[in-house]
Amino acid sequence: MRRRIPTLLSAALLLTTAGCAISEGGSNSLVFASYGQGAYQAGQRAAWLDPYEQQTGTTVTIDGPSSNAKLKAMVEAGKVTWDVVDTDASAAAAVCGSLLEPVDMGAQAAGFPEGSLTDCGVPDAFFGMMLMYDSKVYGKNPPAKLADFFDPKQFPGRRIIYGGDPSVGTIEAALLADGVPRDKLYPLDMRRALRMYDRIRPQLSITSTYGDQQQRMAGGQADMALIVSARAFSLLKAGATNWKVVPGIPVPVTWDVLVVPKGTARAEEAKKLIRFASQPAQAADFAARAGVGPANTAAPAARSEIGRQLDIWGEGKEDLRVLSNVRYWAANRPELVKAWSDWTTG
């Protein structure tokens, strides 16, 4: 019997450490889940979290990377350690009410681009799906329209896209290239979009992360790309100036949202932070730092040279930007993502 005591002790020790692994901050602190080191998260820290800490005395800790799967696991397990999460709009709209708290923006709701605010997701960053090419490769005859990306005869060369999540404008870009009018995009004709990608399959590299796509473009592993503007911004900022944005073509637009997971003890405080970040000055400051479109229509347009190339809100852009229908995506996400991942892995 005496011999059993060490065993019990070690087992008990194990169980307690397992239970304590998840620490929870005090009431005067918040945990903000973002996407890890880079201009994006650094911009959020400088434009929102630091001023918010100064103004309210609440400590905001950054955790990450943000993950919808982790968020789901936390909410289901009843151990929610994230208070505000930055995630993509359509995924958030799909789990509104089940995994996420509704966020009431009151009078501030009028400041967001039309149709972008949903019950649980407060837009914080807008991205354009940009067509870019390597000017060293194409010289005097660069691609000039979306259809050129899908035309390997006229425009030979290796293409690269991000393939992890098709809801970032990947499908819309193919349909627009095939001549679908912008107001007839939804419901999406997935098969038609995939037929477009079939045309360039031999030339196409698909990456499972944005970082990998950016890395391969910078390293000369591709000649043409469909890439979200935030990554294009990092690419150009890092000095890959041989990459040019094709101007004056339709740009599918998607956005990220701030959400509050169901079950956090600090939901009200979390919503306060979201309302703070959504003010015009904060939105503009973050947008300029991260190279994304501001989430507030009252925010002034981008001023930097790179920012202007990637701008989706400036004058003359209203006929080019094509905002994603997040409600459609939210309702049909499983089928669409499945069809896309079958095509990419098949």
In the complex, the residues that contact other proteins under the rule CB under 8 A are 3-4, 6-7, 10-11, 14-15, 18, 67-69, 72-73, 91, 95, 163-165, 205-208, 212, 216, 219-221, 333-334, 337-338, 341-342, 344-346
Q: Which is nearer to other proteins, 216 or 289 (CB)?
A: 216
Q: Which is nearer to other proteins, 279 or 341 (CB)?
A: 341
Q: Using alpha carbons only, what angle is made at residue 163 by residues 157 and 167, rounded to the nearest 5 degrees?
A: 120
| Least Cβ distance, residue 234 to other proteins (angstroms) | 18
196-202 LR contacts (CB < 8 Å, sep 24+) = 196/150, 197/150, 197/343, 199/150, 199/151, 199/152, 200/149, 200/150, 200/152, 200/159, 202/152
Report the amino acid identity of residue 24. E
| Least Cβ distance, residue 263 to other proteins (angstroms) | 16
CA pair distance 177, 207, nearest whole angstrom: 21
| Least Cβ distance, residue 132 to other proteins (angstroms) | 18
> What does DSSP say about strands 224-228 and 122-134: parallel, antiparallel, or unpaired?
antiparallel
CA pair distance 185, 325, nearest whole angstrom: 9
| Least Cβ distance, residue 11 to other proteins (angstroms) | 4
Q: Which is nearer to other proteins, 27 or 208 (CB)?
A: 208
Local structure of residue 21 (DSSP, 8 states): S
Q: Which is nearer to other proteins, 67 or 297 (CB)?
A: 67
Local structure of residue 219 (DSSP, 8 states): T
| Least Cβ distance, residue 79 to other proteins (angstroms) | 14
Answer yes or no: are the C-beta atoms of 214 and 129 closer than 8 Å.
no
Q: Which is nearer to other proteins, 15 or 109 (CB)?
A: 15
